[in-house]
Structures are given as C-alpha cells and as structure tokens.
Amino acid sequence: MLSVVIESMGLLCSRQRSVNEADNQENVQAAEIERRIAQEVKAEKHIQKLLLLGAGESGKSTIFKQIKLLFQTGFDEAELKSYASVIHANVYQTIKLLHDGAKELAQNDADSLKYVISLENKEIGEKLSEIGSRLDYPHLTKELANDIEILWKDAAIQETYSRGNVLQVPDCAQYFMENLQRLSDVNYIPTKEDVLYARVRTTGVAEIQFSPVGESRKSGEVYRLFDVGGQRNERRKWIHLFEGVTAVIFCAAISEYDQMLFEDENKNRMMETKELFDWVLRQPCFEKTSFMLLLNKFDIFEKKVLKVPLNVCEWFKDYKPLANGKQEVEHAYEFVKKKFEELYFQSTGPDHVDRAFKIYRTTALDQKLMKKTFKLVDETLMRRNLIEAGLL
C-alpha cells in the first residue's frame, strides 16, 4: 500500500515539474514576442510615412521606380526581364494609337491630306493596328520592329504624333520608337532607363521603404512611401492611407496644360490637377502634414511652352508671354509655380499655417535631379521634426 502511495506521489511531482517547465517555456516565448513587438513599435516610430499623390499620367510611378533605383538595390536581372513584355506592349499600343489617330484625322481634320498614310505603308499599318488590338501581344521580332519603324517614319504618322496632346500619345513614344532594333533583339534585357520609360497604370497600393542617404545611415529618418493609382476610379483607395502621414508628395505634370484626361476627354488635365490638389489640401487629417509639390515633366514643358501658349488652359488664361527662348521658359514656369502657391495659401486655413510647404522643379526621368530633390525633401522634413521637438 505504501509503495503505491509513494509511486503516486512521484507521478504527481513529475507531472507538476512538466507543467512548470511548460509554463516557463510559454513565459519565455511570451516575453520574446513582447520584446519583438516592442522593438518593432520602436522601429516604426523612426519611419516617416510619405504619400505620393497626383492625377493619372503625372509621373508618380516613374518617381517610385527612381527611388527604388536610387536608394535601394534597384532592379535585379529577373525584374528587368519582366519588363520586356510591358515595353513591347507599350510599342504595339503606341503604333496602333498613331495609326488609328491618323485615319481619324484624315477623315475629320480640315487639313486632312497630311494625315493620309502612304499607299505602300497602308497594309503594314492595318496589320500593326490589328496586333495592337489583341489581348496578348506577340514577342517583338526584328521583322515586326522593321514594320513599326517604317510606319513610324511615314510623314502622316509624324504629323499625327505632333497632335499627341489630342490623341493621348504616351510620353514614352519617341524613346521606344528610336530604340526598336535594340528592343527587338532576341536576347533583349531592358535597361534601367527602359524601365523608367515603361508605362504600367498603377492600380492598388505600392509601398517602398528607403533613406535618401542610404541604408547605412546610423541616425535620422527612414521613409515609407506609398504610391496609389492617380486615375479617378483609383482615388477611393486613397482615404484609408491618409492617417499618420508625415508628408504628402504631390506630383503635378506641368507639361499637360493642353491635354485632356485619359478617362474624360472633356476635362483638361491641368484643371483636374488643380482641383485634386485643392481637395487634398483641404483634408482635415492633413492639417499638420507637410506638403512637397513636385512640378514634374519640366523637360517636356520647356519645349512645349515655346510652341503652345500657356493660356490655352483656363487656369492660365491671364498669362502674358514676355520673352523668347530660355527667358520665356523661366517666365512661364514661374507663372505656373505662382499659381500653385496661390492655390496652396487659398486652400490653407488658419489651423494649417504651421505645416511645411515646398515646391520642386522635377523631371522624373532625370536620376541626378531626383536624387537631389529627395535629399532636399529629407532635409526639409528633418528640420521640421527638429522644430516640432523644440530643438530649433
């Protein structure tokens, strides 16, 4: 009887030890989880949230890709290769747009004859238009590239390209048309520049974490940038990102003052940008949020403004040209900049006056300029943080 009792007590003690060991193990695991959570919370406090906003075709996605190239590891070979089909699609879409646009202008324009494609190129044009209408595009072969090159050089297509502002011709058109032989090489791997020119409409939300002075920085700010689609049907996705934003980086394509929206051909793109900027500025959640305004596509603007007067846009109807050449470009740019400044201060209530506001002239395709711009943005936001902390 005694041996049974002793044996039972031994089993009880053994079970108790197992329970205690399990409890200790659970406590250690719980403590480790809490430690990691605390570390993540502490790390998150040092990450500044940036929101990249703007209308469709403003250049936001190109800026996003530049940040990946400048402040991260860039694109590896697999990522570069994945852009080949996108670039080939851009080529087919562009040549179809120009071919179909030429046909429409040849029928409806007052000076219709200059848009008539030459007889020897009509068959090529019809073939390429059919390819451009497909859901799946073929690989860009040398034969197809030669056909596209022939059609691109047709006088009617060049005349049509000059009307690109009406036909929604993408900014990448000339670049890709001038590189067709390289793009059609059997071993083609897109370059970084090709990737920057490649057009893929942003849907949903993309994010990237970076530091403008590199990953090795021991102190200072790390940024998490969110990019969302700029087209009207994408903007409903913006709202849930509006909380806890350090700065809004608003991208405005200043070259698009004579163009219409892709999604609404009766709406001027610059007027849409104006209204969108005004709406974003008035959001209550941004009352202490800094605003960095990128007046983008300056490279296109400086060529266009010498040919197409600014006052074709309703917002700029009071513009008066004063000079020629570079002086006129600077005069026009300063006028546009002032318009945005006025809009900012008109839309900024008394409770918003302490937020930072800076304007930068940008060309998203210019890597050196974008690197300099984001370092300036970084300096502005760091200074802002020091002021808020009472250290300046």
* CA–CA distance, 125 with 150 (Å, rounded to integer): 9
* CA–CA distance, 383 with 252 (Å, rounded to integer): 25
* CA–CA distance, 196 with 206 (Å, rounded to integer): 16
Angle (nearest 5°) at CA 385 between 279 and 43: 100
Binding site for GTP: residue ranges? 57-62, 171, 196-202, 227-231, 296-299, 364
How many residues does this entry show for the chain? 392
CB atoms near residue 360 (< 10 Å):
19
DSSP output for 22-62? HHHHHHHHHHHHHHHHHHHHHHHHTEEEEEEEE-TTSSHHH
CB 273 within 8 A of CB 228: no
Binding site: residue ranges? 57-62, 171, 196-202, 227-231, 296-299, 364
- Helix locations, 263-366, DSSP H: 269-281, 298-304, 325-347
Residues 6+ apart with CB under 8 A from 222: 46, 47, 48, 209, 210, 211
Cite the active site residues.
57, 62, 199, 227, 231
- Dihedral in degrees, nearest 10, Cα atoms 43, 47, 49, 52: -130
Stated as kind and residue range, the H or E segment containing 251 is: strand 247-253
* CA–CA distance, 374 with 362 (Å, rounded to integer): 10
Q: Which two tokens stand for residue 311?
A: 């006052």
Q: Which two tokens stand for residue 71?
A: 């402040």
Residues 6+ apart with CB under 8 A from 375: 212, 213
For the four alpha carbons of 163, 165, 169 and 170, in that order, the dihedral sign comes to: positive
| Of 159, 98, 106, residue with least CA distance to 124 | 98
Binding site for Mg(2+): residue ranges? 61, 202
